[in-house]
Structure 1
């Protein structure tokens, strides 16, 4: 059974998650209207650092993550995970994971369109036009953090951290995103996972409590 403890349980967890999503949106506004969609000093420094790297194994890994982490692939992966959980009758986990990925991807797409930040011009793989936030990293964070909340183990959190970090770094290694794009995306995906998980478990706990109270009331009446 999915159970969130302090500080992730609602309402605190939902507040933290919502704050993360809002923070990313506000950061996008700063990128668009304050920075005029230009890269920051840190963006430029990190981009130049990545451009100077040349490692065959890293290149192969980054290109694999580019393909595997795309919309079609991750949609299929999410669908398979949700399907397996439904067959296993883990309804709450399946809904939380599926809803998290859909919402995170949707918010990411809307922000990309509204902010319209250009990508670096020297990207080494074909990608779309808009850069902020990184869609690959958003979905990676949303899916993996939702899975870690659904099945909280040390190893699930470790895998989540490794996968999200690898995806984020691969996007900058391929020169298709600024570092601020992937940082914002990681926060967005993780925050959405926390928001959905906290709200859903809160609603379920409320219904379970109400059901238990009703059963107790019926028993008291029948025994009197």
Structure 2
């Protein structure tokens, strides 16, 4: 009987979003356990991190500007789009965008600073926990907010552009010595899980590219 209730979280598109939210959350936990809590994971993570530094000489100036610049620039765009949504009384996407950004950022910082720990498992880089990345979380959540608030429909190729911006945020944090690769990937998984759950709970309508 529960599955037949309209809008139930147990059936239809909302159920799919909830399943994606759970899958991404499980991926986040699994990544943390392997990349942070095991010697093999820490070693592989630092090896990829070291290989990424080969790009540092060429990309360091750009990475240094992108890391703080991307969240700031996208945040300003989200404020403009949010004002437009409020003027048009598109409250549900506006509420979802606000929840996704706030919950993702607060949850990311809380997990990194107060919950998750990085055990010492050998000389495998700096020992301070940096999982997940706050900058990548903020940039990714703001990109999602932009997609939700864009009026009236997403332009063709918008998802590719969004993915490119998120990738740039990840690369900037890794190449700029700020975060390990696992930190950046964890941020994307975290925002993805929060996004799917929020959209399921608030029944946010999906807008296809024009």
Question: Is 1:191 aligned with 2:190?
Answer: no
Q: Is the 8 A contact 1:14 1:194 kept in 2?
A: yes
CA contact under 8 A between 2:101 and 2:138: conserved in structure 1?
Answer: yes
TM-score between both structures, scaled by the size of structure 2: 0.73
Once residues 68 and 40 of structure 1 are traced to their aligned partners in structure 2, the CA distance between those partners, rounded to angstroms, is 29
**In structure 1, which of residues 157, 160, 165 is the aligned counterpart of residue 159 of structure 2?**
157
Would you say the 8 A contact 2:74–2:143 is kept in 1? no
Q: What's 1:180 paired with?
A: 182
Which residue of structure 2 lines up, in the alignment, with residue 143 of structure 1? 142
Structure 2: gaps (5+ residues) = 1-11, 206-210
CA contact (8 A) 1:29 1:115 kept: no
Do the aligned partners of 1:14 and 1:196 also contact (CA within 8 Å) in 2? no
Q: Is 2:63 aligned against 1:62?
A: yes
Counterparts in 2 of 1:14 and 1:40: CA distance versus 1, 3 Å? same
- Alpha-carbon displacement from aligned partner over 1:71-96 (angstroms, at most 9, x marks no partner): x7766554443223212322121111
Specify every segment of 5 or more residues in structure 1 that has no aligned partner in the other structure, as ranges.
1-7, 122-128, 205-224
Given that 2:20 and 2:193 are in contact with CA atoms closer than 8 Å, whether structure 1 keeps it comes out as yes
**CA RMSD of superposed structures (Å):** 3.1
1:18 to 22, 39, 55: 22
What is the SS of the residue equivalent to 2:203? helix
Aligned residues: 186
Q: In the superposition, relative to structure 1, how do residues 22 and 104 fare at CA in structure 2: closer, same or farther (>3 Å)?
A: farther
Q: Aligned to 1:138, what secondary structure does the other structure show?
A: helix
Distance 2:110 2:202 in 1: 24
- Measured in 1, the distance between the counterparts of 2:31 and 2:56 equals 31
User: Structure 1 157/74 Cα, relative in aligned 2: closer, same or farther at 3 Å?
Assistant: closer
Cα distance 1:54–1:13, how it changes in 2: closer, same or farther (>3 A)? closer
CA distance 1:68–1:120, change in 2 (3 Å): farther
Q: Which deviates the most, 106-115 or 21-30? A: 21-30
Name the residue aligned to 1:35: 38
Alpha-carbon distance change, 148 to 77 in structure 1, aligned in 2, over 3 angstroms: closer
